[in-house]
Structure 1
Amino acid sequence: MAKEILYRKIASAVEQQIVAQTLKTGDKLPSIRTVQKIYDVSLNTVKQAFLELEGKSLIESRPKSGYYVSKSTGRRLLLPETSKPVLKDKGNHPEDLIIRVFDTMKDKTITQFSLGVPDQSLLPIPKLNKGVLKVIHSMDDSGTGYEPIQGNLNLRRNISRWSFTWGGKLGEQDIVTTSGAMNAIYNCFIAVTKPGDTIALESPVYFGILQIATELGLKIIELPTNPVTGIEIDALKKVLPRIKACCLISNFNNPLGSCMPDEHKKEVVKMLTNYTIPLIEDDLYGDIFFGKKRPAPCKLYDEAGIVMWCGSFSKSLAPGYRVGWVAPGRYKDKIIRQKLLHTISTPPLYQEVIADFMEYGRYDHHLRTLRQKLYTNCLQYQRAIEDYFPENTKITQPQGGFVLWLELEKKIDTAKLFDLAIAQKISFAPGRMFTQHDQFHNCLRLNFALKWDNELDFHLKRLGSMVKLFV
């Protein structure tokens, strides 16, 4: 009886601090051993108290990191609605708006919530620099020669080994290296489409994919997309007879952060296989997950070779290295011919540096640290948005990646809000960038892969105040 009272006493004390906002969403709790010493109780008593708090969804554990105040605690902001793109709309690509946002990169004094790039403080730059020196001295030509067209052998071998983390059975012969994920996606589109063909994409969709499709003269169907589960399967099924290819960000979609359930991935691959429609799968964020295990890509369920699995190290390790890959399945020969035509080969130096980084477990260790920091950042952003933005703001709850999608009041135009924010040295990505249609004007995307501190919290507060001016 005494033990039961003790663990409930501890649980009650923590709960009261959470309710009073002394402990806020995203805050890390003291370790089990620290609480044990404070209350002079057994470890089992503290564990029982934490289990009770977990049962109430007040706290949640993070592997090898500890316990945090749960992001579901006191959540008052709703999720954005499933998108409903107007399929009959002729379409108008927001090129000018994209250029305006990217022009802000020139000003280093601007807080960049807009760009989907991790802050340098989150990257193992000193270790990579040492790797560059090591590789230069170890390579016969110091990295100045041509690589085989298919790409660096060591890197392809390590990428194929890494696929074991999601159950993949890829070999080095299945991988073609590219200059980043966008280069991979571009080559995939050229390999399986021609001008005038129709393709299916998510909505909202990463603007870079829209730019590629527009440049190649492709017609685009944007599919209704749920902020949690991704594209609506029935909507895809209806357009299958009309499309030549499909391109999806299956895990932690940019900008919604949605992650397709395994059942949906299986169904999508099955449907596309039946119609022999290639799926260009952008799995750029798959390794940046906040749960217990990495979600599998659609490629896991591909038995016919129609899935072209694309990825890169730009979001997780080294954006400027521009090292990516594609496992193109039955389209491998076409992809290699495309690569020969456009680049002859990819630069060997940075491929070898990343291969060396992966070879000795440093990449795995880096990812564990990165995930913990990004997860904490995500919680901090969500807490700040709930505190500083209007109460009718809707916000996504991603389980990985590093972008948040906000849906504001209908009358707010985030393109105009962007101009106001830039004048105050704050940048974000207006929602209109992520569609060819006249929609998402009241939405915006925020990058939470920045170094969290009081100044960043203050900038979110300022942005929230600007939003309130438009209400």
Structure 2
Amino acid sequence: MPGPVSRRYEKLADEMDQAIGEGLLRPGERLPSVRVTCQHHGISPSTVFQAYGLLEARGLIEARPRSGYYVLARKKPARALPLQAPIRAEATEVAVSALAFDLLESTRDAAVVPLGSAFPAPHLFPFEALARSGARAMRRLKPAQITGALTVGDAGLRQTLRKRYALQGVPLAEDELVITNGAMEALNLCLQAVTQPGDVVVVESPTFYAALQALERLKLKAVEVPTDPQHGVDLDALGELLGRQRVAACWFMPTLQNPLGALMPRARKQALVELLARHGVPLIEDDVYGELYVDVRRPPSAKAFDQAGGVLHCSSFSKCLAPGYRVGWAAAGRFSPAVRRLKMMSSLATALPPQLAIADYLGQGGYERHLRQLRTALAAEQQRARRLIERHFPAGTRVTRPAGGYFVWLELPAGVEALALHHQAMSLGISTAPGVLFSADRRFVHHMRLNLGHPGDARIDDALRRLGGLASELASAAA
């Protein structure tokens, strides 16, 4: 008996994915028409279109106007590793805030093309529905809820989040979740809960600059471990480091890492959690992009493999539902009491109206549909924009192929300094995120992160063309 309609397209996509991988469908080959596929499999046209859309999102096929769907060459993801000397596994004082602040200021200007921004396009989010939910929730607000939500957050929202964790195979204790002012507060609270000034914290290389800012603020030292665009953190290098140096914590992003977009395979996530548990080192897991995967099912978090309460899992709705609402959370395992105390001593509470709005929206049942639409839009735009980068940037440029999200990481030719390119682009009203932001010692001189999460922005194509032209000029001048 055939499975549910919602899963038939996944089965068809997986079968065609396997056929492409085994060479039965070759690069450049035209796929069977929708009509033929319907007849052969006994399914509807909408199911075929969904399957082909999923294959397109995976980067395996492309649609050609008035021609059909064609198989793309399987490209090995670029290993966008530093062109400089290998990473030195030494503790480094952190000082990146000034450059990060300048980048943030540039992205606040709506006239600037936001290739350096950390957020996708605002029109991708259901703000009108959220506003209706907010008004509905505030009409139902009882005075007792105001004090009841102090420190840990709204009970209804926490219960909804616990259900989502449970459906992902991660049961949480009733008092484990703390609602925070975005993921950054959650991450900072968790970092404070497991460290003291002067401690060493292991981060990915490259890593998100906000992690470096947090270490800088708390007077912590960073040790970087190599991170691969396909496999994530180098577990051998991490194991060797843990064997010879005292480490207070690790701050990693195993799912759709910023800036690489790396998705650590399931087995490697489990091995990571087991390695850290053996050494007694807590893992602060930044999982803000976990809902933006391309494939059929959500990748498991590292928290899913935590048996000892050593994973402090942090996320938010800022990248997947409600940017600007600043509603995040921490599920901090055995460190939850410490996180609650720190929350009480710092911000005390998270604003209640945004929590109630989101809780009501989740209760209306449209969240999963919104996420599917968001993932599809981001995947299609990433694929389209990557083709523009490959067309307009100089020879020798390497680009990652993430399995979701909206960032790509570029390794530019050796003669092109990304910071110089950034300044030239800013003079044309185009922001970028130069690679020196993503390391404590500014090692990624020839790298940059680009935000491709702006489908429908007519300025993007011209901006990528002009940015590629500037990079080509710098490469020619250095030759």
Q: For this structure pair, what is the TM-score category when the shorter chain's length is used for normalisation? A: 0.7 to 0.9
1:201 partner SS: strand
5+ residue gaps in structure 2?
1-26, 64-68
Write the letter of the residue equivalent to 1:349: P
Q: Which residue of 2 aligns with 1:81?
A: 80
Q: Which residue of 2 aligns with 1:123?
A: 125
Matches within 5 A, 1:71-110: 73-74=72-73, 79-83=78-82, 84-88=86-90, 90-91=92-93, 93-110=95-112
Q: Which residue of 2 aligns with 1:156?
A: 158
- Counterparts in 2 of 1:186 and 1:89: CA distance versus 1, 3 Å: closer
Q: Which residue of 2 aligns with 1:44?
A: 39
- Counterparts in 2 of 1:278 and 1:92: CA distance versus 1, 3 Å: closer
Q: Which residue of 2 aligns with 1:198?
A: 200
- Structure 1 position 172, deviation (Å): 4.0
The aligned length equals 434
Which one of 55, 61, 65 corresponds to residue 61 of structure 1?
A: 55
Matches within 5 A, 1:288-307: 288-307=292-311
Write the letter of the residue equivalent to 2:209: F
- Structure 1 position 136, deviation (Å): 1.4
Deviations 1:23-82 (A, max 9, x none): 9xxxxx9x96xx43xxxx67225999x9xx99xxx996369xx97449982477961334
Identical aligned pairs, as a percentage?
32
1:464 partner SS: helix
- Counterparts in 2 of 1:301 and 1:141: CA distance versus 1, 3 Å: same
Write the letter of the residue equivalent to 1:215: R
Provide the C-alpha distance between the structure 2 equivalents of 1:470 and 1:143, rounded to a whole number of angstroms. 59
Given that residues 153 and 172 in structure 1 are in contact (C-alpha distance below 8 angstroms), is that contact kept between their aligned partners in structure 2?
Answer: no
Given that residues 86 and 437 in structure 1 are in contact (C-alpha distance below 8 angstroms), is that contact kept between their aligned partners in structure 2?
Answer: no
Given that residues 247 and 282 in structure 1 are in contact (C-alpha distance below 8 angstroms), is that contact kept between their aligned partners in structure 2?
Answer: yes
Matched, 1:451 2:455: yes
Write the letter of the residue equivalent to 1:109: A
TM-score (norm 1): 0.85
Write the letter of the residue equivalent to 2:184: M
Deviations 1:255-283 (A, max 9, x none): 00001111111111112112221110011
- Counterparts in 2 of 1:133 and 1:440: CA distance versus 1, 3 Å: same
- Structure 1 position 210, deviation (Å): 0.3
Given that residues 207 and 435 in structure 1 are in contact (C-alpha distance below 8 angstroms), is that contact kept between their aligned partners in structure 2?
Answer: yes
- Counterparts in 2 of 1:287 and 1:431: CA distance versus 1, 3 Å: same
- Counterparts in 2 of 1:62 and 1:197: CA distance versus 1, 3 Å: same
1:287 partner SS: helix
Given that residues 257 and 403 in structure 1 are in contact (C-alpha distance below 8 angstroms), is that contact kept between their aligned partners in structure 2?
Answer: yes
- Structure 1 position 346, deviation (Å): 1.2
Matches within 5 A, 1:374-389: 374-389=378-393
1:225 partner SS: strand
1:222 partner SS: strand
Provide the C-alpha distance between the structure 2 equivalents of 1:109 and 1:142, rounded to a whole number of angstroms. 44
Q: Which residue of 1 aligns with 2:23?
A: none
Matched, 1:314 2:318: yes
Given that residues 411 and 447 in structure 2 are in contact (C-alpha distance below 8 angstroms), is that contact kept between their aligned partners in structure 1?
Answer: yes
Matches within 5 A, 1:159-238: 159-238=161-240
Provide the C-alpha distance between the structure 2 equivalents of 1:71 and 1:340, rounded to a whole number of angstroms. 56
- Structure 1 position 206, deviation (Å): 0.4
Write the letter of the residue equivalent to 1:80: R
Write the letter of the residue equivalent to 1:44: Q
Write the letter of the residue equivalent to 1:121: H
Provide the C-alpha distance between the structure 2 equivalents of 1:193 and 1:362, rounded to a whole number of angstroms. 40
Given that residues 146 and 345 in structure 1 are in contact (C-alpha distance below 8 angstroms), is that contact kept between their aligned partners in structure 2?
Answer: no
TM-score (norm 2): 0.84
Q: Which residue of 1 aligns with 2:470?
A: 466
Deviations 1:417-444 (A, max 9, x none): 1111011110010000001114111101
Given that residues 113 and 448 in structure 1 are in contact (C-alpha distance below 8 angstroms), is that contact kept between their aligned partners in structure 2?
Answer: yes
The runs of at least 4 consecutive aligned structure 1 residues that moved more than 6 Å come to 75-78
2:290 partner SS: coil
5+ residue gaps in structure 1?
1-17, 24-28
Provide the aligned C-alpha RMSD in A: 3.0
- Structure 1 position 143, deviation (Å): 7.7
Q: Which residue of 2 aligns with 1:349?
A: 353
- Counterparts in 2 of 1:42 and 1:115: CA distance versus 1, 3 Å: closer
Q: Which residue of 2 aligns with 1:12?
A: none
Which one of 429, 432, 448 corresponds to residue 425 of structure 1?
A: 429
Q: Which residue of 1 aligns with 2:271?
A: 267
Q: Which residue of 1 aligns with 2:3?
A: none
